[in-house]
Every structure is written in structure tokens, then in C-alpha cells.
């Protein structure tokens, strides 16, 4: 019997969602292909705690080749987190991987759901990248999407696929737009992981532009709380923003990280790459009203947690 199915279950967010679902008593099936975007050993470490739980079953499989509907006999909530992540890598010949892993894989999940006639709901992990460059201020869910990267295009297209399956087959699909997620287990390619690694080893931090980008940093445990709530709410909206609620200039975030780590900050400025939005800022009023979503972890606290988890070292405040 299965209460929840999580795709991308060995990843940064997926592995922590699995643990939260197990903690509340769910019977969970996790699926992950161990795509070589980053080392499989990192993902296997993410799985260690959950695999000790008898209510967890893990399947290593490619969503385009696996009959996912065999996991739907008990009408679980499907949390679809599997994706090809990263804005900067989505250009050129690598786009085919984004089309496959973000769009075709989502279509496979939706098709399996329709064939099974059983999932209670599909909760899809989308991205703030669908907004791209927006007018100043917080982006609402009804803002006109304007992605500025191929990655953002694929995440928006997958949202549209979900709406299409809902209208045509009555399949309940809810998309959650994540804003700049950070925290323990963050992928090696992501910004704070790279910044922490540089600080730890005394290297300069590589910063695109002058560090004036505005980002709505969101701690991973808050994102997991939003995911669980979206799987529980009786009549969800089709889209929710999940953000930290207090956007910060990147240069200020780096100053906080330097302060938390007790390491001097040296920056090397690089040209801005294509595809980076100037600002991300979530209007979370809908999620607050309908999901009870309230970000709990402030940036300083979250960066301290990631520093310790990633390096095994204490923060400057705890020394």
C-alpha cells in the first residue's frame, strides 16, 4: 500500500520530502534515475536515512521507461520533483536533456496517472524561472510568464501540460513555483553550495555581475512544508508561489554567509550569463491563505544550517 509517490526522490528537495512524509506515517515509494548531472554517490547519501524505514520503497528507474502506474493502486498523492535543473546549462546542445527530463518525463507521469485512474493528486515542482524578468515588486501567480532561459521555458511548458491533462481528463494537478531554494543537501552546482565550498577552502567566490541580483531565498524545510500542504488541501488552486517572503540582494546574502562562517569574503566578478533574471520575489499571499504557508527559517539561520551540514564545521556564533 502506498500513500505518497515522490519522483526525484534522491535529490536535494525530494529526499527531504520523503523523510517528512515518512515522519508523519506515510507509506512512500521514491523513484529516481540517478541522472549523471551530479555524482550518484551524493544522491545515495541523501537516501541513507529513508532506506532504514520499512515504510519506504525506493525504485531506481527512468520515468520514460518505467511503468509508474503500478505504484498508483492505492490512490497516492504524486509529488513530481524529478527534473533537469539549472538555468545556465540549458542552452545549446544540452537543451535536449531539459526537454527530455522536464517535459517528456512530466508527460509520462501525467499519462501514467490517467491510465491508472487512481492518483489523488499530482503536485508538480515548478520554478520561479517561469516568471523571468518582471516589473518591480513581488510576482503574483497570475503575472504573465516571461522566461528568459530554456530551462524556464521547459518548466512553464510542463505546467501547461498539467493544465491540459486536468481539463481533458479531470486529473488534479497543482504546480508549485519554487524561489531560490537553499539548505542542507543543496546540489553541487547551486550557488550557496559553491560559495560555501570556496569560503571553506580560502578561494575567491565567483559572482556574476556586481552581486546586485535580488533573490527570494527559501529554505528547503519551508519548501517541503509547502509541498506537503499542497498534497493535503482539499480544493487547491492550480498554481502557488513558495518563496522566503523577504528578498535579499545577493551581495548582502554573501556578507551574511561570511559572517556566519567566520571566513573572509573575497569576490571575483564575472560577466552576467544569459538566462539569469534580475530579480525574483514571490507574492506568497495565495499560499499563505490557502495552504497556511508561512516561511519559518530566516536567511542567517538557514545559511548557518547549510554551512554546518555541508562542511561539518561550526558557525562563528557557535565557536
Residue 264 pLDDT level (bands cut at 50, 70, 90): very high
| Mean pLDDT over each residue of the chain, to the nearest integer | 95
| DSSP tally for the chain: helices H, then strands E | 10, 13
Cα angle for residues 249, 132, 277 (degrees, 5° grid): 35
Q: Specify the pLDDT at position 310.
A: 98
Q: Where are the domains of the chain?
A: 4-182+218-242
Residue 2 pLDDT level (bands cut at 50, 70, 90): confident
Average pLDDT on 193-219 reads 96
Q: Specify the pLDDT at position 276.
A: 85
* pLDDT over 90 at 273, yes or no: no
* pLDDT over 70 at 99, yes or no: yes
Least confident window among 6-20, 51-65, 67-81, 240-254: 67-81
Cell numbers placing 296: 519559518
Antiparallel, parallel or unpaired: β 248-249 and 214-215: antiparallel
CATH of domain 4-182+218-242: 3.40.50.720
User: Which of 278 and 46 is assigned the larger pLDDT?
Assistant: 46
Hey, what long-range contacts does 210-213 have (CB within 8 A, 24 or more apart)?
210/251, 210/269, 211/249, 211/250, 211/251, 211/254, 211/267, 211/269, 212/249, 212/250, 212/251, 213/249, 213/250, 213/276, 213/277, 213/278, 213/279
**Whether pTM exceeds 0.85:** yes
> Distance between CA atoms of 159 and 169, rounded to whole angstroms?
15
Within a 10 A sphere around the Cβ of 96, how many other Cβ atoms? 10
- Of the candidates 151, 165, 182, 240, the residue annotated as catalytic is 151
Residues 29-38 have pLDDT tens digits of 999 999 988 8
Residue 1 pLDDT level (bands cut at 50, 70, 90): low
Residue 124: active-site member: no
Q: Specify the pLDDT at position 270.
A: 94
Amino acid at each position: 500500500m502506498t500513500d505518497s509517490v515522490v519522483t526525484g526522490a534522491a535529490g536535494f528537495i525530494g529526499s527531504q520530502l520523503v523523510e517528512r512524509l515518512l515522519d508523519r506515517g506515510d507509506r512512500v515509494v521514491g523513484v529516481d534515475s540517478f541522472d549523471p548531472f551530479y555524482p550518484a554517490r551524493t544522491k545515495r547519501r541523501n537516501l541513507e536515512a529513508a532506506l532504514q524505514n520499512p515504510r519506504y520503497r525506493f525504485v531506481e528507474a527512468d520515468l520514460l521507461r518505467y511503468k509508474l502506474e503500478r505504484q498508483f493502486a492505492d490512490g497516492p498523492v504524486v509529488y513530481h520533483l524529478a527534473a533537469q535543473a539549472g538555468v545556465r546549462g540549458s542552452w545549446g546542445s544540452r537543451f535536449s536533456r531539459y526537454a527530455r527530463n522536464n517535459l517528456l518525463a512530466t508527460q509520462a507521469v501525467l499519462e501514467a496517472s490517467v491510465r491508472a485512474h487512481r492518483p489523488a493528486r499530482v503536485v508538480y515542482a515548478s520554478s520561479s524561472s517561469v516568471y523571468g524578468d518582471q516589473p518591480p515588486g513581488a510576482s503574483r501567480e497570475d503575472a504573465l510568464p516571461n522566461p528568459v532561459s530554456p530551462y524556464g521555458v521547459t518548466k512553464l511548458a510542463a505546467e501547461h501540460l498539467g493544465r491540459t491533462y486536468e481539463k481533458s481528463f479531470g486529473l488534479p494537478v497543482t504546480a508549485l513555483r519554487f524561489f531560490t531554494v537553499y539548505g542542507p543537501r543543496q546540489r553541487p552546482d547551486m550557488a550557496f553550495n559553491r560559495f560555501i565550498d570556496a569560503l571553506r577552502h580560502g578561494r575567491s567566490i565567483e559572482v556574476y555581475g556586481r552581486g546586485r541580483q535580488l533573490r527570494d531565498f527559501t529554505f528547503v524545510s519551508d519548501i517541503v512544508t509547502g509541498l506537503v500542504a499542497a498534497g493535503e488541501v482539499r480544493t487547491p488552486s492550480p498554481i502557488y508561489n513558495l518563496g522566503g517572503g523577504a528578498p535579499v540582494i545577493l551581495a548582502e546574502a554573501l556578507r551574511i554567509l561570511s559572517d556566519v562562517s567566520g571566513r573572509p569574503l573575497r569576490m571575483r566578478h564575472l560577466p552576467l550569463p544569459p538566462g539569469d533574471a534580475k530579480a525574483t520575489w514571490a507574492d506568497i499571499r495565495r499560499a499563505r491563505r490557502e495552504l497556511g504557508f508561512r516561511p519559518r527559517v530566516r536567511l542567517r539561520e538557514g545559511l548557518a544550517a547549510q554551512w554546518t551540514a555541508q562542511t561539518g564545521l561550526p558557525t562563528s556564533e557557535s565557536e
